[in-house]
Amino acid sequence: MSDDDKQRPGSRPSTRLVHTGRGHLGGDTSPVNPPITRTSTVLYRNTSVRTTIAARKAAGERVWNYGTAGSAVSFALEDAITEIEGGARTMLFGSGLAAVAHPLLAILKPGDHVLFAETIYQPARTLATDYLTPRGIDCEFYTGGHAEVATRIRPQTRMVYLDNPGSIVFDIQDMPALAAVCKGRGRDILITVDNTWGAPGLYRPLTLGADISIVAVTKYIAGHSDLLMGSVTANTRCADLLYRAAGILGQVVSPDDAYTALRGLRTANARLKMQAANARTVIDWLQAEPEVERILYPALETDPGYALWKRDFHGANSLFSLAFKPSVTAADANRFVDALRMFGIGASWGGYESLALTYPPERLKGWHGGALVRLHVGLEDPADVIADLELGFRALRS
């Protein structure tokens, strides 16, 4: 951020989450939040207006011409996410997985080659192996980072896809270095990043060389475990292509869900700061327990990805994994989680509540250590979180 930006009111990241997407007063009075408009049919004043709007839509402009086009509140959410991510335009989808699927379906064609990081979200891996591969798209998985990608790029390579940090094991790849590898080949290789861990505003991969950023809005943006939504933000290389494809496929979210997500965005900074502080307190305590091998969390000074996190990220959240020592079996890890009373056993994260899930090592690609438990620390008092985890360790030791 330049010195001029620092002096400009509203330019700081925490303020941006509060004000972005709100627009300006259009009259003498205005609601604080964009109103919900529930409709399928949109009426036109006359045929001339309808013809003009149709022409604007055909040219790629976002217009309100039918319920599938969105509404004022979904447009506001799109604009907010676009600004936060630093892209050209954003599309909204009914779930995070639908957002993951969209760039793959909209861009790839039979004969294309895609490099997927080993540590991507498991449903994304299933999408690659069970949907793309049978349709003639060559899906290859790589370990490591940009140096490995450089050895695997082919003339048919169309995309590199990764989570940053990686799912469950939280490995971090060097995005500027990866971009240099992909953009230096004289061909159109797009970089797609699942940025759910880094949203909103903790990581901005589009500003570091990526082309597409995917976010499960379900998580920290919505923040209350009551909403399913995903977003895709792209730069100018592919934003219009993705936007047109979303319209062809009829991708839309309800105005009520868009309103709920936008409301969650306004408090995301406060929740993230509090939950990250809670997580750090819990992590410091966990590291002293004899059964713990290490904590997988890039914001931890001892983590292998800490230097990249420090350079490229603007903060951390409260999701990490606990790696047990080899003497702790997968069954022991299950007993640990089952002994917890306050933690929920749930597959999502980013809400206000603490969650825990076990991951047997043999099921995790890119992980060569012991049994893992992924923990999400919520807004509860960290002393209560620690007291609950003590129950898990007692179960292990019994």
Lowest mean pLDDT among 62-71, 88-97, 158-167, 319-328: 62-71
The reported pLDDT for the residue numbered 20 is: 72
Q: Per-residue pLDDT tens for 78-130?
A: 999 999 999 999 999 999 999 999 999 999 999 999 999 999 999 999 999 99
The reported pLDDT for the residue numbered 22 is: 66
Task: Quote helix, strand, coil % in the chain, to nearest 5.
Answer: 40, 15, 45
pLDDT band with cut points at 50, 70 and 90 for residue 26:
low
309 and 184 share one domain: no
* Rounded Cα distance, 250 and 26, in Å: 30
* Rounded Cα distance, 223 and 388, in Å: 22
The reported pLDDT for the residue numbered 369 is: 83
Would you say residue 39 has pLDDT above 60?
yes
Is the residue at 26 inside a domain?
yes
Reply yes or no: is the peptide bond before residue 165 cis, omega within 30 of 0. yes
Would you say residue 11 has pLDDT above 90?
no
For residue 113, the SS3 value is strand
* Rounded Cα distance, 201 and 81, in Å: 9
234 φ/ψ angles, rounded to the nearest 5 degrees: -130, 160
Q: Is there a contact between 216 and 96 (Cβ–Cβ < 8 Å)?
A: yes
The reported pLDDT for the residue numbered 2 is: 52
Would you say residue 24 has pLDDT above 70?
no
The reported pLDDT for the residue numbered 23 is: 64
138 φ/ψ angles, rounded to the nearest 5 degrees: -85, 110
339 and 195 share one domain: no
Selection from 203, 193, 140 nearest residue 166 by Cα: 193
- Residues 30, 31, 33, 37, Cα dihedral to 10°: -90
206 and 302 share one domain: no
The count of domains in the chain is 2
Is the residue at 4 inside a domain?
no
The reported pLDDT for the residue numbered 316 is: 98
* Rounded Cα distance, 267 and 219, in Å: 13
Work out the average pLDDT over 37-60: 91
CA 114 vs. chain centroid, Å, equals 20
What is the token pair recorded at 127?
A: 């999408």
294 φ/ψ angles, rounded to the nearest 5 degrees: -165, 170
Q: Is there a contact between 101 and 64 (Cβ–Cβ < 8 Å)?
A: no
The reported pLDDT for the residue numbered 187 is: 67
* Rounded Cα distance, 21 and 38, in Å: 19
Residue percentage of the chain with pLDDT more than 90 = 81
pLDDT band with cut points at 50, 70 and 90 for residue 35:
confident
283 and 253 share one domain: no
Selection from 120, 73, 112 nearest residue 261 by Cα: 73
The reported pLDDT for the residue numbered 119 is: 96
Is the residue at 65 inside a domain?
no
367 and 278 share one domain: yes
* Rounded Cα distance, 174 and 176, in Å: 6
Domain stops at, among 210, 238, 266? 266
Q: Give the range of the structural domain holding residue 292, as residue numbers without chain letter.
A: 268-397
| 62 or 18: which leads in pLDDT | 62
* Rounded Cα distance, 215 and 231, in Å: 5
149 and 255 share one domain: yes
CATH number of the domain to which 153 belongs? 3.40.640.10
Q: Per-residue pLDDT tens for 265-312?
A: 999 999 999 999 999 999 999 999 999 999 999 999 999 999 999 999
Work out the average pLDDT over 173-186: 89
Would you say residue 250 has pLDDT above 90?
yes
Q: What's the chain's average pLDDT?
A: 93
The reported pLDDT for the residue numbered 5 is: 53
CA separation, residue 290 to residues 161, 316, 393 (Å): 37, 26, 10
* Rounded Cα distance, 117 and 95, in Å: 22
- For residue 378, the tally of other CB atoms under 10 A from its CB is 23
Domain stops at, among 266, 293, 316? 266
pTM for the complete prediction? 0.92
Work out the average pLDDT over 121-146: 97
Would you say residue 1 has pLDDT above 60?
no
Query: Which residues lie closer than 8 Å to 256 by C-beta, 6 or more apart?
Result: 36, 38
Would you say residue 171 has pLDDT above 90?
yes
Query: Which residues lie closer than 8 Å to 59 by C-beta, 6 or more apart?
Result: none
Selection from 195, 242, 247 nearest residue 86 by Cα: 195
Is the residue at 81 inside a domain?
yes
The reported pLDDT for the residue numbered 278 is: 98
Is the residue at 345 inside a domain?
yes
260 and 278 share one domain: no
Residue type, position 158, single letter: R
Is the residue at 108 inside a domain?
yes
Selection from 229, 226, 249, 247 nearest residue 80 by Cα: 229
The reported pLDDT for the residue numbered 27 is: 66
Length in residues, the chain: 398
Is the residue at 282 inside a domain?
yes
19 and 101 share one domain: yes
The reported pLDDT for the residue numbered 33 is: 79
CATH number of the domain to which 290 belongs? 3.90.1150.10
> Which runs of E-coded beta strand occur in the chain?
89-93, 113-117, 138-142, 157-163, 190-194, 212-216, 230-234, 292-296, 319-324, 355-359, 372-376
202 and 83 share one domain: yes
The reported pLDDT for the residue numbered 350 is: 97
Lowest mean pLDDT among 178-192, 326-340, 341-355: 178-192
272 and 251 share one domain: no
pLDDT band with cut points at 50, 70 and 90 for residue 188:
confident
Domain stops at, among 232, 266, 300? 266
228 and 162 share one domain: yes
349 and 262 share one domain: no
Is the residue at 3 inside a domain?
no
Would you say residue 165 has pLDDT above 70?
yes
The reported pLDDT for the residue numbered 10 is: 62
CA separation, residue 269 to residues 43, 146, 365 (Å): 39, 31, 32
Q: Is there a contact between 223 and 350 (Cβ–Cβ < 8 Å)?
A: yes
| DSSP-assigned letter for residue 201 | T
